[in-house]
Amino acid sequence: MICATLVRALVLSAAFASALTPVQCLGEDGNQLPENATTELSPELLSLLRQKKMPKHSPIILRVFKEEAELEVWKQDTTGHFQLLKVYPICRWSGDLGPKSHEGDRQTPEGFYTITPKLMNPISNYYRAINFGFPNAFDKANDRDGSFLMIHGACGSSGCYAMTDEQIGEIYALARDSLSGQPSFQIQSYPFRLTPANLARHRTNPNMAFWEMLKIGNDHFEATRFQPKVEVCNRRYVFDAQPPSNSTNPLVFDPTGRCPAFVVNPKIARATLMKQRADEVEYAQMVKDNVPVAPIYSGLDGGMNKAFLARFPGKIVSLAIVLPPGSGSELPQLRAIPWTDNDGSLANKFFGALWGSNPASQRHVPSTDSTMHGRAADPATTASSAAPATSPAFPD
């Protein structure tokens, strides 16, 4: 009887201890992903990989575009370049355009993030999840904070990019397979596609300087189809930096300190500069034509790709509902913009027309390199040894 009681006590103790053990994210205790983390890729997707000459375990890059509510998966092919594999409509994102600043502001991250196995979670409450690892070095240097910001399933968001379970299952599997061949992959998260037309529409937004910095990394990728190497110094992102030819010392980057002198590989710099100059000409013409500007605030809590509007009605609500007075986030007193216009397209795409106001006066904002509008030299094409700023150069 005593033995049976002791056994029962030990079993209950073990069960209680197990219940208190925190659930770890996939790979949190190591660098390897278990083979059974997710199901295999579908035959259709495996066929697409073969068609595009993309090895199953080659690197991937995820590119997220808020305003368009799209997530792109790019994968390295046998030439070593990245090419587009697939575009997924985003079911839900929260907040407004602009980077995340503080815990609870509902903003989704914008910037460049490195994803390691420990940030992968196959047993998420939202089916599968890929953690951004926010805040990264840039976010910390600019006093930004937040936690548990992810790409996950379940089509619900509070600071995350939410997909359907089917979508995140496929995206997660692609990420898992890529991590079998390298230690990490990159997420590039943008407010919108950084085209001259979109930049012209948002030229009065206080986040423009930050977005133009992101555009440098975006241009490095789009001009070369190679993954940009990302560093942080002087509270800024720096891309594809390497030591000057006359230097024998390795580069050392301090996120809050002075940037070391560096150069960019001439092939990357030339291709990027060509793209930037073409974009600047197009942008300048649009500003000259006084294209309508988008309102800085939509009044809505995030967005949803139009592919999901009928399937998930009522998901988009006013920010005032989810961030009531006293929540710590200041919101302008603006009426919300209708989510769709008459042809069902995204409201954000036509902010100026939907708002019903006269186009704002022209206002030039620093652009993507030193060739236009008197902006400081683009570190993509010149050596840098900028002095540390006394405060962040990009308004949040």
Q: Is the distance from CB of 239 to CB of 229 less than 8 angstroms?
A: yes
Coil, strand or helix: which one is 129?
strand
Q: Do 255 and 140 touch, CB atoms closer than 8 A?
A: yes
Vertex 207 angle, CA 203 and 211, to 5°: 80
Q: Token pair for residue 250?
A: 């390795």
Residues 6 or more apart in contact with residue 219 via CB below 8 angstroms: 194, 272, 275, 276, 279, 368, 380
Is the bond into 250 cis (omega within 30 degrees of 0)? no
Cα(366)–Cα(359) distance, integer angstroms: 20
- Catalytic residues, by residue number, are 152, 160
Give one DSSP letter per residue of 159-186, joined into a string.
SSEE--HHHHHHHHHHHHHHTTTSS-EE
Which pair of tokens denotes residue 7? 């056994």
Type of residue found at 59: P
Q: Are 90 and 162 in contact (CB under 8 A)?
A: yes
Say if residues 210 and 99 touch (Cβ distance below 8 Å). Answer: yes
The residues, ordered by sequence, that sit 6+ positions from 135 with a Cβ below 8 Å of its Cβ are 144, 145, 146
